[in-house]
Amino acid sequence: MTQQLGFVQWLLDAAHWIAWSAPYLAALIAVGPLVWAWKTRQRSVRVREALARRTVVEVIPTSTFDPGEGEIGRWAHQLGRVPAAADGVPARGAAARLRYSVEAGKMRCYLEGPEQAAAILAMPGFAEVEVRSDRTHQEIRPIRFHRPAHPRESA
């Protein structure tokens, strides 16, 4: 008999807890999807921004280009550092991509990656490969320090 009373008391306690927490659970159920939607939207905006601002370098091998296994491993390791250099960018926008195209009958190879990893992409990975970077829109501007006028010089 005491076991039945203990079980009944447990059921009453559980019902009381459910009745007491129902408004909070309802609020959680209503707010949860809104938070998820907001986070998903923020992530998609970050990915879209990262994909809009990508750096492209052209990889041009020489006619005697024949990489060894060690060179390929070093280049793969170098490309593996690209997502780490693009800190804060979701994986979809941080990936390095190889793009091939044909222009005037010549095959061209482009390496594309996030703007934050431009220095890693521009590093030559092989001994007999030239990396060309078109950075006409990214000029290096010199820093100028203006000396304040001394009170004696202005008088």
104-132 per-position pLDDT tens digit: 888 888 888 888 888 888 888 787 888 88
Q: What is the mean pLDDT of the chain?
A: 82
If you average pLDDT over residues 71-95, what whole number do you get? Answer: 86
DSSP state for residue 6 in the 8-state scheme: H
Q: Is 28 exposed, middle or buried (0-12, 13-18, 19+ CB in 10 A)?
A: exposed
Q: Is 86 exposed, middle or buried (0-12, 13-18, 19+ CB in 10 A)?
A: buried
**Angle formed at CA 115 by CA 101 and CA 130, multiple of 5 degrees:** 50
Q: For tokens 């939607």, what's the residue?
A: 37
Phi, psi for 73 (deg, rounded to 5): -65, -40
d(CA 90, CA 139): 27
- Segment among 59-73, 81-95, 141-155 with least mean pLDDT: 141-155
* Inter-CA distances, 6 with 2, 14, 16, 18, 20, Å: 6, 12, 15, 18, 21
According to the CATH classification, is domain 54-133 in 2.60.40? no
- 134 compared with 137, residue with greater pLDDT: 134
**Angle formed at CA 84 by CA 83 and CA 88, multiple of 5 degrees:** 85
Whole-structure pTM value? 0.58
d(CA 47, CA 83): 13
pLDDT one-digit tens code per residue, 13-23: 888 888 888 88
d(CA 70, CA 142): 39
